[in-house]
Amino acid sequence: MKTVVEVEHYSFIYQDAKVPAIKDVSFTVREGEFVCIVGANGAGKTTLCNALVGLIPHYFTGETEGSVRINGADTADASVADLSNYIGLVFQNPFNQLTYASGTVAEELAYGLGNRGVSRDEMRRRVKLVSQLMHIEDLLDRDPLELSGGQVQRVAFGSTFILEPNILVLDECTTQLDPLGASEIFDIVKQLNASGVTVIMVDHDMERVAQYADTVVVMDHGQISLTGTPREVFSASDINRYGIDTPDYVKLSKGLDRRGLGDGELAMTYEQTVAMAKEVIDR
């Protein structure tokens, strides 16, 4: 399969910072892959996201080394606007993502479509679709400044979604969402992923990471310290030292093994965990 993201020996140091936020990072992402980036606070996850969409080097000042290529184009040469045709970022802080230049939620959603030559009808169609997906149909006429935290995050997500990028970068994009709302949105993301959209997601919720990821990338002090399938990564005995918890599914599998009730396998998803527990009960 085609490689859509190529990061080669990439380093970045913010202006005036003493140490680089990312150091000699290399990895690739295939088209249609679901990659989760995990790691402690300050590990460099957001910096990496910003580098993927070209905000680094175009908006943040500092020194870079190495290269980031999106669909073959070096982000240093392409403009952020051009890149946004392929790759979209949902910001960690939704309050920073909204432009607040618009009077209503509907305008905020459509903002990014404005300079893309999208017809009025198409704009209306997409605003309607996205607001239904995000459950914000009732908020379309509201002022973005008068929303709850989770409502702002839904609008922020929608404003990236509406551009229909082929690569979605999600930086802790559901931290303020109600639990069912978050899982609905991940179902949508998973469906998009199944239809070929590449997903790169940062999250501290390890059950979610184990559930969805094809590949987990563990970052520590600006470097990649571990890469693998969820099973490979969460089997590692020293995983906690990278500032991440083990998913409860894995804890349960290990707990059952210790009592001689398990089968030595680690459950990674809700469904696998239910099946494992059922087997114990029915034994």
Partner 1 sequence: MKIELNDVGYSYQTGHHALEHINLSFEGNQSVAIIGQNGAGKTTLAKQLNGILRPTQGTLKIDGIEISGRTTSEWSKRVGYVFQNPDDQLFLETVREEFAFGPRNIGMDEETIERCIAKVAALTGLQDKLDVHPADLSPTEKKFCGIGAVVMMDPDAVVFDEPTCGQDYAGDVRLHDLIAELKREGKMRIAISHDMKFVVANFDRVVVMCQGKVLVDGTPEEVFSQVDVLRKSYVTPPPITRVAQGVGLKETVFIVPQFVEKLEDACSAQNS
Ligand X SMILES: Nc1ncnc2c1ncn2[C@@H]1O[C@H](COP(=O)(O)OP(=O)(O)OP(=O)(O)O)[C@@H](O)[C@H]1O
Catalog residues that contact ligand X under the rule CB under 6 A. 14, 17, 21, 39, 41-47, 92, 146-151, 176
Sheet of 22-30, strands arranged across? 22-30, 3-14, 62-70, 73-74
Would you count residue 240 as binding partner 1 (CB under 8 A)? Answer: yes
Sheet of 87-90, strands arranged across? 87-90, 167-171, 198-202, 34-39, 215-220, 223-228
Residue type, 63: E
- Which of the stretches 106-114, 142-150, 192-200, 213-221 binds partner 1 when contact is defined by CB under 8 A? 142-150
Residue type, 204: H
Q: In this structure, what token pair is assigned to residue 75?
A: 């982000």
Q: Which of 148, 227, 232, 265 binds partner 1 (CB under 8 A)?
A: 148
Residue placing its CB nearer to partner 1 in the complex, 63 or 141: 141
Q: Distance between terminal CA atoms of the chain?
A: 43
Would you count residue 10 as binding partner 1 (CB under 8 A)? Answer: no
Helix-strand-coil split of the chain, %, nearest 5:
45, 25, 35
Residue placing its CB nearer to Mg ion in the complex, 85 or 92: 92
Under rule CB under 8 A, which residues in 44-83 are in contact with partner 1? none
From the CB of 270, what's the least distance to partner 1, in Å?
7
Interface with partner 1 (CB under 8 A):
39-42, 92-93, 95, 143, 146-151, 153-154, 172, 175-183, 204, 207, 240, 243-245, 247-249, 251-252, 255-256, 259, 261, 270, 273-274, 277-278, 280-283
